[in-house]
Amino acid sequence: MNLFEFIKKSPKAELHLHIEGTLEPDQMFVLAKKNNIQIPFKSIDDVKRAYNFDNLDSFLKIYYEGTKVLIKEQDFFDLTWAYALKCKEENIVHTEIFFDPQTHIERGVKFDIIINGIYNALLKAEKQFGLSFKIIMCFLRHLDESPCFKILNQAILHKEKIYGVGLDSSEMGNPPSKFKRLFKKALENNFITVAHAGEEGPPKYIWEALKLLNVKRIDHGVQCIKDKKLVEELIKSQIPLTICPLSNIKLKIFKTLKDHNLKKMLDKNLMVMVNSDDPAYFGGYLNQNLIEIQQALNLSRSEIKKLIINSFTSSFLTEIQKKYWINKIK
């Protein structure tokens, strides 16, 4: 089996996936028409041309435009079901997805509609083809902390569906410390915590996420390499870093994939794995990310295997479940 086939056929876990970021251009147009929503694009090609981002903020502007078409529970179900089918196609056997309720609630969409649509689609996928899952609710860091408590209270009512809470959106100028009280309450209510940190932001943001938000995982974290003490801490603790190669190129974190620091991180024994982030916007789902980073950095079969094993090790599956899938990676 060649390396390309090994990537495609190996069971995998995906730990950094924004469900809103799986909204493909054609699906955006279908939903816009169905829900009578005006979007600033005349064609699918217009959308694709708009996907030429300068940075995280310019991406988010288009991203939030796209989410406007999601109105009904069925819309969230269909969006999530389409991703679940992609998981089946790519041999992703476990996924831990993010969703951004604030993006939708500010448009008048009720919390119950969002979570029920997402959860029911994943439940169907679990029953039909065995896809296991966890759902992580993210807070938008460019907004104030205070209104987030109301959202957290709603999440508590759906605790059986929502496993953890995270932090995403515009990183620069919005440090994790801004949400210290919120995450304290989330932890008191037995939510696992994760946070985007060190994507564009400095290593200091990663330290804050670890020390002030008590996160179990850092999403992105590629800037950690600039802080020797932080790298030592991450190696020692084996706190996972959910790396998203194609996202990092699209958002200009690195100029090209050949400049990406994934191999350096892997060589240092940091707990890294590959994910797709917002695949509809960034040019590829999980397998494509693995294939392109392998080619760019000339990663060996053992290095790719390590990345895939790390995806299970870093997941919130039980130890028995982790061992089961790791043993399937040949």
Q: Which residues contact 122 (CB under 8 A, 6 or more apart)?
A: 80, 84, 95, 97, 131, 133, 135
Q: Per-residue pLDDT tens for 69-85?
A: 999 999 999 999 999 99
Phi, psi of 133 (to 5 degrees): -160, 160
Over residues 236-248, mean pLDDT: 98
| Backbone φ/ψ region at 328: left (φ over 0), alpha (ψ -120 to 50), beta | alpha
pTM of the model: 0.97
pLDDT above 90 for 47: no
Of the pLDDT bands very low, low, confident and very high (cuts 50, 70, 90), residue 245 is very high
Cβ distance 86 to 282 under 8 Å? no
Cβ count within 10 A of residue 208: 21
Of the pLDDT bands very low, low, confident and very high (cuts 50, 70, 90), residue 64 is confident
Q: Domain residues of the chain, as ranges?
A: 3-23+74-323
Strands, sheet with 12-18, edge to edge from the N-terminal-most edge strand: 12-18, 92-99, 132-140, 164-168, 192-197, 217-220, 241-243, 272-274
| CATH fit for domain 3-23+74-323, picks 3.40.50.300, 3.20.20.140, 3.40.190.10, 3.40.50.720 | 3.20.20.140
Cβ count within 10 A of residue 272: 25
Q: Per-residue pLDDT tens for 310-330?
A: 999 999 999 999 999 999 999
- Would you please indicate which residues are annotated as catalytic (active-site) residues? 199
Q: Per-residue pLDDT tens for 5-44?
A: 999 999 999 999 999 999 998 899 899 999 999 988 888 8
The CA distance from 281 to 50, in Å, is: 10
Closest by Cα among 98, 4, 10 to 308? 10
The CA distance from 153 to 82, in Å, is: 29
